[in-house]
Chain A
Amino acid sequence: MGVKQLGIVGQSVKRRDGIGHVTGQTQYVDDVFYTNMLWLKMVRSPISRGIIHGIDTSKAEAFPGVVAVITAQDVPNNWYTILCLIGVEPNDEPVLAHEEVMYIGEPICAIVAETEAIAAEAAALVKLDIEELPPVLDLEFAISPDAPAIKKWGNNTFMYDGYTHRKLRFGDFETAIQQADHIIEGTYSLSPIEHAPIETHCCVVKPEPDGRLTVHSNTQALYFTMDNTAIILQVPSQRLHMIGGTVGGGFGGKVDVITEPITCIAAMKTGRPVKWRWTREEEMRKSSTRAGVRMQYTDGVMNDGRIIARKVRSLEDSGAYHRHSPYGVQKHMANLPGPYTIPNVWVDAYCVYTNRQPSSAMRGFGVTEATFAVECQMERIARTLGIDSWEIRLINAYRNGQMRPVRKVVEDATLIETIQAAAELIGYDLPAHLKAMNSDDYAGNGGHHG
Chain B
Amino acid sequence: MESITVTFKLNGKTTAVAVEPLASLRTVLREHLHLHATKAGCGQGGCGSCTVLVNSEPVLSCLMLAALADGQEVTTLEGIGTPQHMHPLQAAFFDKFAAQCGYCSPGMIVAAKALLDKNPHPTRAEIAEALAGNLCRCTGYVAILDAIEDVVTQMQEA
Task: Verify that A and B bind, or say they do not.
Answer: yes
Cα distance A26–B39 in the bound complex, in angstroms: 11
Question: How far, in angstroms, from A28 to B37 measured CA to CA in the complex?
Answer: 10
Are B37 and A30 in contact, CB atoms less than 8 angstroms apart?
Answer: no
Q: In this assembly, does A176 line the interface, its C-beta being within 8 Å of a C-beta of chain B?
A: no
Give, as a whole number of angstroms, the nearest-CB distance from A38 to chain B.
Answer: 14
Contacts of A26 in B (CB 8 A): 102
B40 touches A30 (CB 8 A): yes
- Kindly list chain B residues whose C-beta atoms are within 8 Å of the C-beta of A251: 137-138
User: Considering only CB atoms, which chain A residue lies closest to B99 in the complex?
Assistant: A21
Q: Among the listed A25, A195, A199, A250, which residue makes an inter-chain contact with B39, where contact means beta carbons less than 8 Å apart?
A: A199
Residue numbers in A under 8 Å from B41 (CB-CB): 198-200, 280
B83 interface neighbour in A25, A28, A250, A277, Cβ under 8 Å: A25
> What is the interface of chain B mostly: helix, strand, loop, or mixed?
loop
Whether A73 sits at the interface, judged by CB under 8 Å, is: no
Q: Which residues of A contact B28 (CB under 8 A)?
A: none
B138/A249 in contact, CB under 8 A:
yes
Q: How many A-B residue pairs have CB under 8 A?
A: 101
Residue in contact with A198 in the complex, picked from B30, B37, B82, B136, CB distance below 8 Å = B136
Is B120 among interface residues, defined by CB-CB distance under 8 A? Answer: no
* Other-chain contact of B49, A18, A19, A198 (Cβ < 8 Å): A198
With contact pairs A198-B103, A198-B135, A279-B43 given, residues A24 and B86 touching in the complex (Cβ less than 8 Å) = no
Return the contact of A33 from the options B31, B47, B93, B135 (Cβ within 8 A). B31
Interface residue A303 (Cβ < 8 Å from any Cβ of B): no
**CB of A408 within 8 Å of the partner chain:** no
- B103–A248 touching, CB < 8 Å: yes
Interface centre among A200, A247, A249 (most CB of B within 10 A): A249
Is the CB–CB distance between B137 and A33 below 8 Å? no
| B136 x A22 contact (CB < 8 A) | no
Selected from B43, B91, B102, B137, the residue in CB contact (under 8 A) with A21 is B102
Is residue B36 within 8 Å, beta carbon to beta carbon, of the partner chain?
A: yes
A interface, how many residues as a size bin?
20 to 34
Q: Are A24 and B78 in contact (CB under 8 A)?
A: yes
In Å, the complex CA distance between A434 and B43 comes to 55
Task: List A residues 309-357 near B (Cβ within 8 Å).
Answer: none
Number of chain B residues whose Cβ lies closer than 8 Å to a Cβ of chain A? 41
| Inter-subunit contact A23/B43 (CB<8 Å) | no
Cβ–Cβ contact B93 & A22, under 8 A: yes
Chain A nearest CB, measured from B45 CB (Å): 11
Alpha-carbon gap, A250 to B102, bound state (A): 12
Mask, A131-149, CB within 8 Å of B = 1, is 0000000000000000000
Could you say which residues of chain A place their CB within 8 Å of the CB of B135? 198
Do A33 and B34 touch across chains, with their CB atoms under 8 A apart?
Answer: yes
Name the residue of chain B whose CB is nearest to the CB of A32: B36
Which of B67-75, B104-112, B121-129, B149-157 faces chain A?
B104-112
- Chain B 24-67 interface 0/1 with A at a Cβ cutoff of 8 Å (1 = within): 00000011001011111111101101000000000000000000
CB distance from B122 to the nearest CB of A (A): 20
B74-106 contact mask (Cβ, 8 Å, vs A): 1 or 0: 001110011100100011011101110111111
- Complex contacts, B46 vs chain A, CB 8 Å: 280
B40 close to A20 (CB less than 8 A)? no
| Chain A 171-214 interface residues, beta-carbon cutoff 8 Å to B | 195-200
Contact of B36 among A31, A248, A279 (CB under 8 A): A31
Min C-beta distance of B130 to chain A, whole Å: 18
Nearest CB in chain A to that of B31: its residue = A33
Would you call B39 and A22 a contact (CB within 8 A)? Answer: no
Inter-chain contacts of B38 with A (CB < 8 A): 24
Instruction: Please state if B77 and A24 are interface contacts (CB–CB under 8 Å).
Output: yes
B30 partner residues in chain A, CB cutoff 8 A: 31
Residues of A within 8 A of B137 (CB): 195-198, 249, 251
Residues of chain A within 8 A of B98, CB atoms compared: 22
The reply to whether A28 and B99 form a contact with Cβ atoms under 8 Å apart is no
Neighbouring A residues of B77 by C-beta, 8 Å:
23-24
Residues of A within 8 A of B36 (CB): 24, 27-28, 31
Q: Are A14's CB and B94's CB within 8 A? A: yes
A280 touches B39 (CB 8 A): no
As a 0/1 sequence over residues 198 to 236 of chain A, the CB contacts with chain B under 8 angstroms (1 = contact) are 111000000000000000000000000000000000000
A residues contacting B by CB (< 8 A) are: 14-15, 17-28, 30-31, 33, 195-200, 247-251, 277, 279-280
Given contacts A18-B93, A196-B137, 6 further A-B contacts (CB under 8 A): A18-B97, A24-B38, A24-B77, A33-B31, A198-B39, A249-B137
Which 4 residue pairs of A and B lie closest in terms of their CB atoms, listed nearest first? A24-B37, A21-B102, A248-B103, A31-B36
The contact sample of 27 A-B pairs, CB cut-off 8 A, is A15-B94, A17-B102, A18-B93, A18-B97, A18-B99, A19-B83, A19-B94, A22-B102, A23-B37, A23-B78, A23-B90, A24-B37, A24-B105, A24-B106, A25-B37, A25-B83, A28-B103, A31-B36, A33-B31, A33-B34, A198-B41, A198-B136, A198-B137, A247-B101, A249-B103, A249-B138, A280-B43
